[in-house]
Amino acid sequence: MPRCDIAVVGAGPYGLSAAAHLRAANGLDVRVFGQTMNFWERMPKGMLLRSPWEGSHISDPNRSFSLDTYRLTTDNHLFAPVPLGRFIQYGRWFQRRAVPDVDAREVTRLERGSAGFRITVEDGEVWSAPRVIIAAGILPFAWRPREFTRLPASLASHTSEHRDLGRLAGQSVLVIGGGQSALESAALAHESGAEVEVVVRAPMVRWLWRHPWLHTCKPVARLLYAPPDVGPAGVSHLVARPGLYRRFPREVQNCLGVRCIRPAGAAWLKSRLKEVPITIGRVVVSAVPASGRLAVKLDDGSERRVDHVLLGTGYQIDISRYRFLTGELLTSIRRVDGYPRLDAGFESSVPGLHFVGAPAAWSFGPLMRFVAGTEFASRSLTRWIIG
């Protein structure tokens, strides 16, 4: 049975960053499994990153492979907001330099073994490792409201299931949700020739404005906002320090977490949606197939007949949806609302098993949902493992 010191499940920003830091620390044999930037490759083409430039760097130990370095060394005229396609190129560039030997096979089973863990990959080969880092992303956590769970994909789909929204051209599309994914998908579908309407549960659509004075006056901006710019003024400094954030009472963390990740769209989207009707303060109460289309009823009694419903309803973390985790392993992991409870080294209640990325958000705050969190996660993880 082949063996490594540490196995990393997932080759997105968090998996690549963790591997880069651990390898540089003391020459550990770290093996990364999975297709590089797989989740990002599945997102609709044409999207732009909502995060600012400063919050879009993938962390490496010497900070040699930042977006700034990528732009300089490749002569890319790249600015924020960063196009999704260019960010994927950056992620692959990072991988080739920091973790050049990624094993593209997917992990199909993770279980305890005599020497720690047994990792089975898609072709049946089994690896052994005393320590495993799960950086498998959020794709399995795509959430569908119950009204849409039994509908065929031809009538209702999640935004995570589309690479090209151009296939909706000529159709009437109802987009559900008021966050970045929903609003940007609505804009892309509209620009592709679809007839689009957006339905938002909240009484208003929130836009993430960058105040021309607060954000551009550098002394004021530094005082109010930490570079990742996650969360409102002042709060963003706390969110950018997860080690401090996790020391606050759970009630305070929950309150701040809601403020930082509530549904909102980037300000640059507003002009692209000026011709798209947005219905606010409404929820869907039923969705029934009708003559090849979908009859959608809202809570005010109104009805829409559409060709397709696009669900921009976000993600709900529940690590039991990671199909590679065996039942025995899952029952040993202490969880809260689907999140693993992690200690200071991102280690779960199963010794040697770590989680990074969005599943770490309950323990370390909303920064873990963004690429900017790779810096703290990878450095903390490395310090913990090497002692």
Q: Tens digit of pLDDT for each residue in 217-249?
A: 666 667 777 888 888 878 889 999 999 999 999
Domain spanning 146-206+263-311: CATH superfamily: FAD/NAD(P)-binding domain (3.50.50.60)
- Does 6-141+316-386 match 146-206+263-311 in CATH topology? yes
What amino acid is encoded at 75 in this protein? D
CA distance 51 to 67: 13
Residues of the chain with pLDDT under 70: 210-221
CB 110, CB 9: distance < 8 Å: yes
| pLDDT at residue 29, as a whole number | 94
| pLDDT at residue 310, as a whole number | 98
| Beta strands, E only, 247-373 | 265-266, 278-280, 284-290, 293-298, 303-306, 308-311, 335-336, 339-340, 353-355
| pLDDT at residue 107, as a whole number | 98
Q: What is the pTM of this model?
A: 0.94
| pLDDT at residue 214, as a whole number | 62
Parse the chain into domains and list their residue ranges: 6-141+316-386, 146-206+263-311, 207-261
| pLDDT at residue 269, as a whole number | 94
Helix (H/G/I), strand (E/B), else coil: 318? coil
Take residue 249 and report the two structure tokens written for it: 């009472």
CB 150, CB 318: distance < 8 Å: no
| pLDDT at residue 88, as a whole number | 97
| pLDDT at residue 218, as a whole number | 64
Return the number of other C-beta atoms located less than 10 Å from residue 27's C-beta: 9
CA distance 60 to 68: 13
Q: Report residue 108 CA to chain centroid gap.
A: 21
| pLDDT at residue 333, as a whole number | 98
- CATH second-level architecture of 6-141+316-386? 3-Layer(bba) Sandwich (3.50)
